[in-house]
């Protein structure tokens, strides 16, 4: 959908006359105000052509004085003069609807001959490019919805003049309200006098299909926000088709629009939820759609709205917020108590009391239609407990942790997102032994009631209680013998407590409870019963969290063995466990078995695709991440794109899997250096999570944190810091001050603040983290050591070297005691840098050598960490001019890392680059060149797109320049600079090196002027940019001096040398 600019015409009456005639704009200015263009008056007197033109212009102006205001006052939907036949590729048949946002046409797509609807939006020329881009992206997301009851969007695009629109499925139907009115008028449903007839009738079937569609969209992170009968078309087969899904958001918040446009307000406020009319737009989520579904159901059943919606606005708003609607059965005797329950629950004023999702509503509609007991009634137990906890002012975190126990009975999953899926699965399994589950839940509830009731009001669990206190108290009660007679309940609680401790990072306590849960269940059911599986899975996750992947793999393997040959329904979970096992194995270093397991599981998942795409998507996504971790970025990206395409193309894939695929794909792209592309996926995850969860859910903080990575990669610290501040607030309010994730966000924020030069704030945060870790883990814990290192790093960079070194040594001692090789290496690098900064070169070298020894002791000779440590040592020697030793070292090292060629090509590539670099330095240019080329090839194979991949190109180009192969070199520089411009921050060292090398190369080629132009331009930018480090202008000035030397312009050469010297120190980079 493109347009071409108008071709200027030359035969028009408004063309300029003979030369010397005023331009149309001057004539127009004169027509509007003769004094504005005095020279025109003189000309007019003597030019007949211009007189005629002037008359036309005046007449036009008079006409527009009437027409313009009329046109502007028209309904804004007419804002665009829309020629109905200018949608390329479509033949427009007729206008079928004009509404709040635009106009809808019925049209035929020329290529396919299918009938479509085209919706053109009013914003047109007013929309900024960013708004349009946003709109198109939203449409793209919404366009992935494929559900028989959602009107499918085919494509979107821009037309001439920046108008935007999209094409969608054409539905030959009537709006739901008309359909209801007609049904009632015809009395079609009045034949059914008994509730039983209502149960399976057209009405409920239609409503069920509507819920199913909304639920489907919710699972993809799309909220409607403007559900109402006029947005639901009913076709001749009584099938609903929902329109405009998710568009309310794409087009600006629907409810906000309604509130500002009184003309349209009355029509839709009837379906607005209390949180919407209160203007709490932040609270609009899936439950807002649930509410609208409630109103629609009410209307379908009773023929009227739940509250009067005519009369003054303030009254209507008050009704919505305060008035409890009469039970539907009062207005329609055919409605029974169960339907009352469903509708009224959907219509709860408090979103917390509503069905939490359309899926939950759907489940109860299904229960109702099948004559089964409703979840709505069952849920009241959870509600009672929540109320209870709130009344007793138990902190929200504790309440949240325990409510899960009450509603589900188990709390075994890693993340909220997986939990949602799990809840559904377990609900399915739970139906089998539902009675027992309920008994357990009730017993747990009773236990909690006693626990908290006994503690209130002046107890150990007062208002200041932390989750840890609550868990400890619960554990104590269990130790004292509570629930001894009910091992089921006891085990469920132990499992929960263990899991919560694990998530708090208190692994030792977690282990105690999980082991106890395992004992209890083993004693009750034997050692091979399925009841052991969730416990084993939790133990596996615990081991993984503790950095013991072998133990994790063992537990998971046992869990999988117990599952044995799964039934079809259990297949999905088994596959998920296999995926986890593969991840653990990979972490334990058993890549071959992990890869084998992945490929088996992927094959099984492909076979089971008819059931659900979810397992396949999740496995492909995990496998992609596995590949990413091993540096195989291109393959990883391919797998992840496949996972994403599968997920988007299916309606059986859940949002957790979608978010997983999006996050992992973003991760690969980010690691590949394509932060822009990564951002798009992380943003989508954030959108989905915001749509699904409470505003302070930690999952949202995670999503924000991922997004920050993309801003960070592009050097946008301002934005990164702002986002991280949000993430930190969210995490703090839901997880408490000391939680590991809170510390993680705080640490990232500290990093960004440092980049922004806000050192005091940064240090404050880092010291808080140290204190938090000391409180949580103790003073000798590796976690505490990590935070010490982070804090010391900041001090080093502030040249507070002694303070820093003290912290770093403390950290090294802790890591050595725990035999944590890589952490120890990091601490040693930190000490090395401190020594170097303090000018103690010999001490620095000693630390490096000590590091090699430490790592060899812990990891053996052939480990990547050892190679990395050796690399540091050799490159250090190279830097200080001890090339002979360095050369020997890097050659040895290159040999040493050959076994990693397949699995870690990027790693070997860096070794090749360093080998070449040292050869280059010692003047062995002929053997440096092939080593650089090997590095380039290896990076290409690895798909590396970061600065590492550009480095050998730049080095090789410099080498070629010195070999007088300038043409070749220039091409290589150009490619390197092009890639750096796309992938890296402007002032990245490798990019500046490339530019400086390019300048010299151009000068050697005799293209002095071009070199001068590029050099001056870049120098100017570096001087003007606030974020350019000092060494950038210095290097550029030095290169410019070289250019002038080559050009034989000695005065400029001298001047630029002086400028270069005036700049400060060059950074001491390890490379």
Partner 1 sequence: MSNAGPTTTSSFLLAALRGSDGDAWREVDRRYRGILVGFARRLGLQDEDADDVAQQTLAQFVRDYQAGRYDRERGRLRAWIIGIARHRIVDLQRQQARRRERQISYDNVEVPDEARLTAFWEEEQRREVFENALRLLREQTRTTPMTLHIFEQVALLGADPQAVAELSQTNVAEVYRIKNRITKRLREIVDELNAAYAEDD
Residues interacting with partner 1, by CB under 8 A? 3-6, 8-9, 12-16, 23-25, 28, 56-57, 59-60, 63-64, 67-68, 70-72, 80-81, 83-84, 86, 124-125, 159-163, 310
| Long-range Cβ contacts of 540-543 (<8 Å, 24+ apart) | 540/580, 540/584, 541/414, 541/502, 541/580, 542/498, 542/502, 542/507, 542/510, 542/511, 542/514, 543/584
Shortest Cβ distance from residue 27 to partner 1 (Å)? Answer: 9
> In whole angstroms, how close is the CB of 300 to partner 1 at the nearest point?
18
* Minimal distance, residue 64 CB to partner 1, in Å: 6
Q: Give the Cα separation of 146 and 165 in Å (integer).
A: 19
- The residue among 17 and 195 lying less far from partner 1, judged by its C-beta, is 17
Provide the minimum distance between the beta carbon of 319 and partner 1 in the complex, in angstroms, as a whole number.
14
How distant, in Å, are the alpha carbons of 10, 310, 348, 356, 716 from that of 321? 65, 15, 10, 19, 43
Q: Which is nearer to partner 1, 304 or 882 (CB)?
A: 304
Helix 821-837 with 782-797: angle, nearest 10 deg? 20
Q: Are 779 and 793 in contact (CB under 8 A)?
A: no
Q: How many CB atoms are located within 10 Å of the residue 666 CB? A: 27
Q: Which residue, 28 or 285, is less far from partner 1 as judged by CB? A: 28
d(CA 351, CA 349): 6
Nearest CB to partner 1, comparing residues 163 and 632: 163
Secondary structure, 3-state, 1029-1067: CCHHHHHHHHHHHHHHHHHCCHHHHHHHHHHHHHCCCCC
| Nearest residue (CB) to partner 1, 159 versus 665 | 159
Minimum CB separation from partner 1 for residue 270, in Å? 14
Task: Provide the minimum distance between the beta carbon of 82 and partner 1 in the complex, in angstroms, as a whole number.
Answer: 8
Nearer to partner 1 among residue 293 and residue 305 (C-beta): 305
* Eight-state DSSP code of residue 350: S
CB closer to partner 1 out of 12 and 802: 12
- Please report how close the Cβ of residue 317 comes to partner 1 at its closest, in angstroms: 18
Q: Looking at beta carbons only, is 161 or 930 nearer to partner 1?
A: 161
Measured CA to CA, the distance from residue 951 to residue 941 in angstroms comes to: 15
Shortest Å, Cβ 133 to partner 1: 16
70 vs 370, beta carbon nearer partner 1:
70
Q: What are phi and psi for residue 345, nearest 5 degrees?
A: -65, -40
Q: Residue 65 or 237: which CB sits closer to partner 1?
A: 65
Query: Under a CB-based contact definition with an 8 Å cutoff, are residues 118 and 176 in contact?
Result: no
Residue entry with tokens 């802790």? 814
User: Crossing angle of helices 571-587/532-545, nearest 10°?
Assistant: 30
Smaller CB distance to partner 1: residue 79 or 173?
79
Nearest-angstrom CA–CA distance, 1022 and 1033: 6
Q: What is the DSSP letter of 150?
A: B
CB of 264 to partner 1, least distance (A): 14
Q: Which is nearer to partner 1, 25 or 463 (CB)?
A: 25
485: left (phi over 0), alpha (psi -120 to 50) or beta: alpha
Q: Are 441 and 419 in contact (CB under 8 A)?
A: no
Smallest distance, partner 1 to C-beta of residue 62, A: 9
- Least distance from partner 1 to the Cβ atom of residue 613, Å: 42
Residue carrying the six token digits 């090395």: 832
Minimal distance in Å, beta carbon 119 to partner 1?
17
Specify the residue, 231 or 650, whose C-beta has the smaller distance to partner 1: 231
Are 470 and 394 in contact by the 8 Å Cβ rule? The answer is yes
Which residue, among 943, 873, 999, 1065, has the nearest Cα to 624 in the 3D structure? 943
Distance CA 771, CA 766 (A): 9
Q: Which residues, including other chains, have CB under 8 Å from residue 321's CB and lie 6 or more apart?
A: 274, 277, 278, 349
Query: What angle do the packed helices 375-391 and 358-370 form, to 10 degrees?
Result: 140
Q: What is the DSSP pairing of strand 102-109 with strand 115-121? A: antiparallel
Minimum distance from residue 1061 beta carbon to partner 1 (Å): 45
Query: From the CB of 88, what's the least distance to partner 1, in Å?
Result: 10
| Residue placing its CB nearer to partner 1 in the complex, 185 or 432 | 185
Residue 228 or 345: which CB sits closer to partner 1? Answer: 228
Bridge partner residues of 103 (DSSP)? 98, 120
Shortest Å, Cβ 340 to partner 1: 25
> CA angle, corner 460, sides to 382 and 409, nearest 5?
25
CB of 235 to partner 1, least distance (A): 21
Rounded to a whole number of angstroms, the minimum distance from the CB of residue 6 to partner 1 is 5
Using CA atoms, how far apart are residues 492 and 444, in angstroms rounded to an integer? 8
Measured from the CB atom, the residue of 124 and 997 that comes closer to partner 1 is: 124
> Which long-range contacts link 175-178 to residues 24+ away (Cβ below 8 Å)?
175/229, 175/230, 175/231, 175/232, 175/233, 175/234, 176/229, 176/230, 176/232, 176/233, 176/234, 176/240, 176/296, 176/300, 177/229, 177/230, 177/299
Residues 364, 339: Cα–Cα separation, whole Å: 9
**Residue number with CB closer to partner 1 (124 or 851):** 124
Largest CA distance in the chain: 113
Contact 515, 393 (CB under 8 A): no
- Please answer whether residues 109 and 146 qualify as being in contact, where contact means their C-beta atoms are separated by less than 8 angstroms: no
Hunting for tokens 């809170």 — which residue is that?
742
Closest to partner 1 by CB, 67 vs 676, is 67
Taking the complex as a whole, the smallest distance from the CB of residue 228 to partner 1 amounts, in Å, to 17
């Amino acid at each position: 959908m493109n347009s071409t600019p108008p071709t200027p015409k030359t035969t028009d009456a408004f063309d300029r006359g003979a030369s010397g005639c005023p331009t149309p704009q001057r004539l127009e200015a004169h027509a509007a105000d003769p004094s504005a263009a005095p020279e025109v008056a003189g000309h007019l007197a003597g030019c007949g052509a211009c007189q005629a033109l002037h008359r036309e212009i005046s007449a036009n102006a008079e006409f527009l004085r009437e027409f313009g205001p009329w046109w502007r006052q028209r309904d804004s939907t007419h804002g665009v003069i829309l020629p109905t036949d200018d949608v390329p590729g479509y033949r427009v048949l007729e206008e079928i609807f004009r509404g709040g946002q635009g106009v809808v046409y019925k049209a035929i797509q020329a290529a396919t001959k299918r009938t479509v609807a085209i919706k053109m939006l009013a914003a047109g020329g007013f929309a900024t490019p960013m708004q349009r881009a946003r709109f198109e992206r939203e449409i793209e997301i919404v366009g992935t919805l494929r559900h028989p009851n959602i009107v499918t969007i085919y494509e979107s695009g821009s037309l001439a003049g920046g108008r935007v629109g999209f094409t969608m499925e054409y539905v030959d139907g009537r709006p739901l309200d008309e359909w209801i009115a007609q049904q009632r008028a015809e009395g079609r449903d009045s034949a059914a006098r008994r509730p039983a007839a209502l149960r399976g009738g057209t009405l409920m079937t239609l409503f069920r299909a509507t819920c199913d569609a909304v639920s489907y969209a919710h699972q993809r992170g799309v909220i409607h926000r403007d559900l109402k009968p006029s947005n639901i078309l009913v076709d001749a087969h009584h099938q609903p088709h929902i329109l405009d899904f998710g568009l309310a958001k794409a087009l600006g918040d629907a409810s906000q629009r309604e509130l500002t446009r009184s003309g349209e307000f009355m029509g839709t406020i009837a379906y607005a939820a209390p949180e919407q009319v209160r203007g709490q737009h932040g609270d609009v989520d899936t439950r807002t759609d649930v509410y609208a579904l409630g109103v629609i159901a009410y209307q379908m059943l009773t023929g009227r709205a739940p509250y009067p919606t005519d009369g003054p606005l303030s009254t209507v708003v008050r009704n919505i917020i305060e008035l409890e609607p009469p039970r539907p059965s009062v207005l329609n005797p055919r409605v029974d108590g169960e339907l009352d329950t469903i509708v009224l629950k959907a219509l709860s004023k408090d979103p917390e009391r509503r069905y939490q999702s359309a899926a939950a509503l759907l489940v109860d509609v299904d229960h109702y239609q099948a004559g089964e007991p409703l979840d709505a009634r069952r849920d009241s137990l959870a509600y009672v407990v929540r109320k209870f906890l709130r009344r007793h002012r138990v902190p929200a975190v504790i309440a949240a942790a325990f409510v899960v126990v009450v509603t589900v009975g188990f709390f075994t999953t890693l993340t909220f997102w997986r939990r949602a899926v799990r809840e559904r699965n377990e609900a399915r399994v739970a139906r089998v032994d539902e009675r027992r589950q309920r008994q357990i839940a009730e017993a747990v509830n009773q236990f909690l009631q006693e626990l908290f009731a006994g503690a209130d009001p002046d107890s150990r669990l007062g208002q200041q209680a932390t989750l840890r206190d609550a868990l400890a108290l619960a554990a104590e009660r269990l130790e004292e013998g509570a629930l001894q007679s009910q091992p089921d309940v006891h085990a469920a609680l132990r499992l929960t407590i263990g899991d919560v401790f694990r998530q708090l990072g208190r692994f030792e306590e977690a282990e105690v409870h999980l082991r106890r849960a395992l004992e209890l269940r083993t004693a009750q059911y034997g050692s091979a019963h399925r009841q052991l599986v969730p416990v084993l899975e939790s133990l596996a996750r615990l081991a993984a969290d503790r950095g013991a992947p072998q133990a994790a793999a063992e537990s998971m393997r046992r869990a999988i063995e117990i599952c044995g040959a799964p039934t079809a329904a259990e297949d999905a979970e088994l596959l998920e466990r296999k995926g986890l096992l593969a991840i653990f194995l990979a972490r334990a270093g058993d890549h071959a078995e992990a890869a084998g397991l992945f490929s088996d599981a992927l094959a099984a998942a492909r076979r089971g695709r008819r059931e659900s795409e979810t397992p396949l998507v999740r496995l492909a996504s995990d496998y992609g991440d596995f590949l990413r971790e091993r540096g195989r970025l291109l393959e990883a990206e391919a797998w992840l794109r496949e996972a994403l395409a599968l997920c988007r193309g299916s309606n059986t894939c859940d949002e957790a899997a979608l978010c997983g695929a999006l996050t992992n794909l973003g991760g690969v792209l980010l690691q590949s250096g394509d932060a822009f592309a990564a951002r798009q996926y992380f943003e989508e995850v954030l959108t989905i999570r915001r749509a699904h969860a409470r505003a302070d859910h930690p999952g949202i903080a995670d999503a924000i944190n991922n997004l920050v990575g993309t801003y960070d990669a592009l050097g946008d610290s301002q934005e990164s810091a702002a986002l991280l501040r949000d993430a930190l607030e969210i995490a703090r309010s839901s997880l408490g001050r000391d939680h590991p994730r809170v510390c993680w966000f705080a640490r990232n924020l500290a990093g960004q603040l440092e980049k922004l030069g806000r050192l005091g704030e940064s240090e404050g945060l880092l010291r808080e983290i140290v204190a938090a870790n000391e409180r949580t883990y103790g003073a000798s814990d590796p976690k505490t050591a990590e935070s010490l290192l982070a804090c010391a790093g900041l001090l080093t960079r502030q040249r507070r070297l002694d303070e820093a070194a003290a912290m770093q040594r403390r950290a090294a001692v802790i890591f050595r005691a725990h035999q944590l090789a890589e952490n120890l290496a990091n601490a040693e690098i930190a000490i090395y840098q401190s020594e170097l900064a303090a000018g103690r070169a010999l001490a620095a070298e000693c630390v490096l050598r000590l590091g090699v020894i430490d790592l060899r002791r812990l990891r053996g000779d052939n480990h990547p960490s050892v190679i990395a440590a050796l690399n540091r040592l050799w490159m250090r020697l190279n830097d200080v001019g001890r090339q002979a030793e360095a050369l020997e070292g890097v050659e040895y090292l290159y040999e040493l890392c050959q076994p990693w060629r397949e699995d870690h090509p990027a790693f070997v590539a860096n070794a090749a680059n360093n080998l070449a670099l040292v050869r280059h330095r010692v003047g062995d240019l002929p053997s440096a060149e092939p080593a650089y080329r090997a590095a380039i090839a290896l990076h290409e194979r690895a798909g590396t797109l970061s600065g590492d991949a550009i480095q050998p190109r730049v080095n090789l180009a410099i080498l070629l320049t010195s070999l007088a192969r300038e043409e070749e070199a220039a091409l290589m520089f150009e490619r390197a600079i092009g890639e750096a411009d796309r992938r890296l921050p402007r002032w990245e060292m490798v990019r500046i090196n490339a530019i400086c090398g390019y300048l010299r190369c151009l000068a050697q080629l005799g293209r002095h002027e071009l070199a001068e132009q590029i050099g001056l331009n870049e120098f100017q930018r570096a001087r003007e940019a606030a974020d350019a480090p000092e060494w950038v202008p210095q290097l550029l000035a030095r290169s410019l001096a070289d250019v002038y030397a080559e050009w034989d312009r000695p005065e400029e050469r001298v001047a630029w040398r002086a400028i270069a010297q005036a700049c400060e120190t060059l950074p001491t980079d390890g490379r």
